[in-house]
Amino acid sequence: MKKNTKKFSLSCIRESFTEYFVANNHRELPSSPLVPVNDNSLLFTNSGMVQFKDYFLSKARPPFESAVTVQNCLRAGGKHNDLENVGYTARHHTFFEMLGNFSFGAYFKEESILYAWQLLTEVFDIEPEKLLVTVYFEDTESYDIWRKKINLEAHRVIRIGDHNGNRHQSDNFWQMADIGPCGPCTEIFFDHGPSVKGGLPGSSDGEGDRFVEIWNLVFMEYQKLASGELGKLPIPCVDTGMGLERISAVLQNVTSNYEIDVFKRLTRKISSFIDLDQSHETSLRVIADHIRASCFLISENIVPSNEGRGYVLRRILRRASRHAYKLGKRDPFLHKFVSDVVSDFQQPDQFVENLNLISETILMEEEKFSETLVKGLRILQEELEKSKTKVLDGNIAFLLYDTYGFPVELTADICRENEVTFNLEKFDEEMAKQKTRAKVASKFVLNEEVGITNHSSVFTGYNDQKVSSEILALFSKGKEVRRAKEGDQVSIIFDRTCFYAESGGQVGDTGIFNSSEATFEVLSTNKVGRAFVHHGILRQGKISLKQQMYGEFDLKNREMIKRNHSATHLLHFSLRQVLGSTVTQKGSQVDAKKTRFDFAYSKPLTGKQIEEIERIVNNEILSNEKTVMSEMPYDEAIESGAIGLFGERYESNVRVMQIGSSRELCGGTHVERTGDIGSFKVLSESGVASGVRRIEAITANAVVSHFRTIENILSRSCALLGATPINLVERIETTLTSLDKNEKTLAQMNMKSIKRQIKELIEKAKKNCEDEPFKIIADEIKHVSVKELREASDEITSGCSSSFTVLGCVFKEKVHVVVRVTSDLMDKLSADFIAKEMAIMIGGKGGGKSSFAQAGGSIPSKLEPALIKIKKFIFYKIRSVNEN
C-alpha cells in the first residue's frame, strides 16, 4: 500500500489545485468578494458557485465552458452559520477557502469524477485505500462510474437515500432553492483510521471525525418545478467544492484543521504573546480563526456595526475578545496579529494595502467592547440586586448577549459568584428564535421578477434624448399583462430606450413615452437582468404589447443628475487626496437635488479638511477639463489607474471616465466638461455607522440657492441686532456676554431667594412641631430647577435634625418632588414610601431608598394640595407607629 509522504503547505496545495485544472483547459478566475455582488439573498459568499449563480439559473451566458477558482467564503451569519461551532470542532471555521472546478456544458459526471480522482491520488498522492465515496441512491450513473471506471469496491461506494422518505431531501441531492436547478452529488471522504472516533457516512455515528468529507461534486441536471417534479436542464452543469483547510489537514497528516501549518504558527504566536501554553486549545482556535475572518471582512470595507454584515463582524471580534478575556487578557491585543495573518496566509495586494485600516478597526472594536464589558457588568449587577430569587431570568442573559454583546459564559460566571443561577432553557429558547429568524431572512430565493429577464433592452441614452420603441412586456400589480388602460400604474419593458436605469448610485431617468393614442409618464427606471424596466402611470389612452411608442427623458432632470454624478467622482478624488488612499467608497446616491457619498473612515472630518475638499473640487471645476470616456478590458483599466468599486461586478470590457484628475470605472451619465458642474458645496458630514462617514453636497444652481438662503438669514440677523455683516460677529459676542452677565446676576438673586425660603421653612417647621420629637417640612419652592431642588433638600436636612423633608417644584411644566428622611426616622417611615404616596397624588411615579427618594408627575395643579396632604399623612403615620 502506498503511503502519503509528501508534505504540502497550504499555499502549495492552493497553487497545485489551480495549475491542475488550468492544464485541463479550465479558465482560472479570481475569488469573488465575500459580499455577494448584486445578490441580496445572501449575507456572505459561502461557496464557490455563488459568483456563477446567474449562469446556473440561465440568467446570463458564461463566456467560458469551464472554470477553476479558489473562493474566499464566510459562514458566520444567516442560513449557513458555523460561528458557535468554531473552536470546539476540528473542522469548522468562520472564514475558509473553497477550491472548486466548474463546467457549463463542457463535461459532466464521468470527467468530473476522473478529474477529482486523478488530482487526489496522483497529484496529491493520497492512498486510494484511504478514500471512499457517497452517491445519491437513485444516481446509478455516478455509482457505475465509481465502480467500473475508478474500480472502487462496492463497500467503498455508499448509496445515501432521502431523509425520512422525503423526496430529494438528502445529503446527496443538492438544490439551489425550492424551485430551480438541482441534482445529485457525490462526496469523497478521507479515512483518518480507527484511532479517530466516527462511523461511516450515512451511519448513526457518521458525524464523528474519522471519515472527513473533502470534496463534493454536484451534478446540476434537473430543474425543480413548483409541482415538485423534475425536468431536465438543457445544459447540465458541474459545481464542485473542496475546503482548502480540510485537504491541507489530510495532506499534512493531521486530524484537525487547526493543526495545519498556518494555524499552528498563528496559535503559537498568540499563546506566546499571552504567556500561556497551548493547553487552552479551544480559546486559541477561536482567536486564531476570528482574527483571520476579521481581517478578510475589513479588507472588503465591512466595519463593525449593529446590523447586517457589520453585526456579524462585531460578533466575530467580540467572541474572540471574550475568549481572550477567559485567558486573562484584559488589554486589546487582537490587532497585533494582523500582519501575521497577511504573511502566513499569503493574501493579495489589496490585503496588504489595507493593513493599517484593518489594525485600526480591530483595535477600535476591542476598545469599544472593553466599554461594553463594563456596561454589561453594571446592568447584570443591577438585575442581580433586583432579583428576589436565586435565579436570573434567561431573557436578561439573552438581552446582555444579543444587545450588548456580553458573553453568556461571563454572565454565568458572575451569577455563580453571587450564588445565583440563570434560566439556561429560556436563554436557549430565545437564541433558537433568533437563529430561526436569521434562517428565514437569509433563505436563498429566486428573483421575483425572474420571468422578465428573458427580455433585453438596447440602451441609446448616452447619445440620444429621444427613442422610438416597441413594448416587449407589460406588468401591473406584480403580474404580467397584455394591455393597460388610463390611470393604471404599470411597468414597461421596451426593446429600445434612452432612459438610464438606476445603477451605481445614480437614480434612473424620468420622462414621457407617447403614441398617437396614449401617454405614459415614467417616474423611475431600473434594470432587471438585461431589461430596462420603466415604472410609471398611464396618463391617457390605452396600450398593449407590440405597440410602438416614442420616448423622451426629462433633459433638465438628467443634466442636474449629470452635474451631481461628475461632482461625486471629484469628491471621491479629493477625499483620497486629503484623507489618504485607504479611503474607499461604501455607497452613493446621486439624484437631481444632491449627491450623497458614504466612505470608510474612522473619525469625523475637521472643518479644515472639509474646506480643503471643497477647494480641490472647485479647482477641478474651474479647470474646465474635457471629460474623456474610454472603453477597455477590465484588467487594462485597473492597470491604467482607474478606481473600481470593490465588490461591484464588472463586464470584461468597462467604461473608464476621466473627469478632471479623477479616473474611475463608471457606467453612469456625466458632464462634457468639468466646468459644466458650475460649483460645489458640502452641506453636511456625519457618521452613518461605525467606521463609515457620509458627505452630502450640492452643485450648480443649488449652490446659488443655498448661499441666497444664507444671505437672507444673515440680513435678518443683522436687522435684529442692528448690525452690518462686517460687525455681526462682534455684536453677537457683545450680546452673549451681556446675557451671560445677566444670567449670573439672576442666578445669584435666585440663590438668595432659595436660601430665604429654606430659612423660613425650617423656622416654620420648628414652630409647628415644638411639642413633637420630629419636624416635617413639606412645601413648594418657587423658580428652581430639579438640581437646585435637591440641593435645597440637602441643606434643610443638614440644618434640621430628626426631620422629614418633602420639597416640590414645577420645572418645564412637570412636577418634581424630592424626599429626605434623617437616619433616626427611616425605620418608622422611609423616603421611598413617602415618594410613592406623593406620586399617586400628583399623577406620576416615584420611589428610591429609605433616606432619599424622588417622584414626578404631569399635573402641576396637584402639587400644592398633595404637599398639604402628605404633611398630615406623615404626622398621623408616625403617631400611629409610636402608639403601637
pLDDT tens digits, 226-264: 777 888 888 899 999 999 999 999 999 998 898 999 999
Take residue 701 and report the three cell numbers written for it.
444652481
- Give pLDDT tens digits for 279-293: 678 888 899 999 999
The predicted pLDDT at position 439 comes to 42
Q: Rg of the Cα trace of the chain?
A: 36
Query: What is the residue-wise DSSP string for 79-122?
Result: TEE-GGGTTTSSS--SEEEEEEEEESSS--HHHHHHHHHHIIII
Where does the pLDDT of residue 593 fall: very low under 50, low under 70, confident under 90, or very high at 90 and above?
very high
User: What is the 3 state secondary structure string of 560-579?
Assistant: HHHHHHHHHHHHHHHHHHHH
Q: What percent of the chain has pLDDT over 70?
A: 91
Q: Which residues contact 251 (CB under 8 A, 6 or more apart)?
A: 4, 6, 7, 8, 13, 124, 126
pLDDT above 60 (res 78): no
Closest CA to 695 of 594, 557, 566: 594
The predicted pLDDT at position 760 comes to 79
The predicted pLDDT at position 473 comes to 92
Average pLDDT in the 605-624 region?
97
Where does the pLDDT of residue 73 fall: very low under 50, low under 70, confident under 90, or very high at 90 and above?
very high
Query: What is the residue-wise DSSP string for 801-854?
Result: SSEEEEEEEEETTEEEEEEEE-TTTTTTS-HHHHHHHHHHHHTEEEEE-SSEEE
Strand partners, 681: 698
Q: What percent of the chain has pLDDT over 90?
A: 48
Q: Cβ distance 136 to 185 under 8 Å?
A: yes
Buried b (16+ CB within 10 A) or exposed e, 824-851: ebeeebbbbbbbbbbbebbebebebeeb
pLDDT above 90 (res 395): no
Closest CA to 777 of 804, 740, 758, 756: 804
- How far apart, in whole angstroms, are the C-alpha atoms of residue 469 and residue 814? 66
Q: Which residues contact 287 (CB under 8 A, 6 or more apart)?
A: 267, 270, 320, 323, 324, 334
Torsional sign, CA 65, 449, 38, 573: positive
Average pLDDT in the 690-706 region?
91
The predicted pLDDT at position 440 comes to 36
The predicted pLDDT at position 632 comes to 93
Where does the pLDDT of residue 546 fall: very low under 50, low under 70, confident under 90, or very high at 90 and above?
very high
* Total-model pTM: 0.59
Return the CATH class of domain 10-259.
alpha beta
Q: 305-319, 483-497, 539-553, 692-706: lowest mean pLDDT where?
A: 305-319
Dmax over CA atoms of the chain, in Å, equals 112
- How far apart, in whole angstroms, are the C-alpha atoms of residue 102 and residue 242? 12
Domain ranges of the chain: 10-259, 276-442, 450-553, 558-708, 744-883
| Number of other residues whose CB lies within 10 A of the CB of residue 749 | 11
Take residue 266 and report the three cell numbers written for it.
498563528
Average pLDDT in the 749-762 region?
78
The predicted pLDDT at position 818 comes to 95
Place of cell 487594462: 636
Where does the pLDDT of residue 788 fall: very low under 50, low under 70, confident under 90, or very high at 90 and above?
confident
The predicted pLDDT at position 390 comes to 76
Take residue 590 and report the three cell numbers written for it.
446621486
pLDDT above 50 (res 413): yes
Stronger pLDDT, 103 or 371, i.e. the higher one: 103
Query: φ, ψ for residue 320 (rounded to 5)?
Result: -65, -45
The predicted pLDDT at position 278 comes to 59
Q: Cβ distance 252 to 260 under 8 Å?
A: yes
The predicted pLDDT at position 768 comes to 66
The predicted pLDDT at position 843 comes to 85
Q: Cβ distance 780 to 864 under 8 Å?
A: yes
- Give pLDDT tens digits for 491-544: 999 999 999 999 888 999 999 999 999 999 999 999 887 899 999 999 999 999
pLDDT above 90 (res 168): no
Strand partners, 530: 456
- How far apart, in whole angstroms, are the C-alpha atoms of residue 145 and residue 150? 7
> Do 10-259 and 744-883 agree at the fold level?
no
Q: Which residues contact 150 (CB under 8 A, 6 or more apart)?
A: 113, 114, 117
- How far apart, in whole angstroms, are the C-alpha atoms of residue 628 and residue 670? 10
- How far apart, in whole angstroms, are the C-alpha atoms of residue 498 and residue 458? 8
What sections of 327-442 are H helices per DSSP?
A: 338-345, 349-353, 355-386, 394-403, 408-417, 424-442
Q: Cβ distance 775 to 766 under 8 Å?
A: yes
Closest CA to 317 of 267, 373, 362, 266: 362
- How far apart, in whole angstroms, are the C-alpha atoms of residue 638 and residue 532? 28
CATH number of this structure's domain 744-883: 3.10.310.40
Where does the pLDDT of residue 444 fall: very low under 50, low under 70, confident under 90, or very high at 90 and above?
very low
Strand partners, 806: 778, 819
Take residue 23 and report the three cell numbers written for it.
492544464
- How far apart, in whole angstroms, are the C-alpha atoms of residue 209 and residue 185? 21
The predicted pLDDT at position 405 comes to 67
Take residue 243 and report the three cell numbers written for it.
475546503
Query: φ, ψ for residue 141 (rounded to 5)?
Result: -60, -50
Take residue 550 and report the three cell numbers written for it.
416614442
Terminal Cα distance for the chain, rounded: 98
Q: Which residues contact 280 (CB under 8 A, 6 or more apart)?
A: 271, 327
- Give 408-411 contacts, CB < 8 A, sequence gap 24+: 409/322, 409/326, 410/322, 410/325, 410/373, 410/376, 411/380
Average pLDDT in the 610-635 region?
96
Q: CATH assignment of 558-708, given 3.30.420.40, 3.30.980.10, 3.40.50.300, 3.30.1360.150?
A: 3.30.980.10
Return the CATH class of domain 450-553.
mainly beta
Buried b (16+ CB within 10 A) or exposed e, 278-299: eebeebbbbbbbbbbbbbbbbb
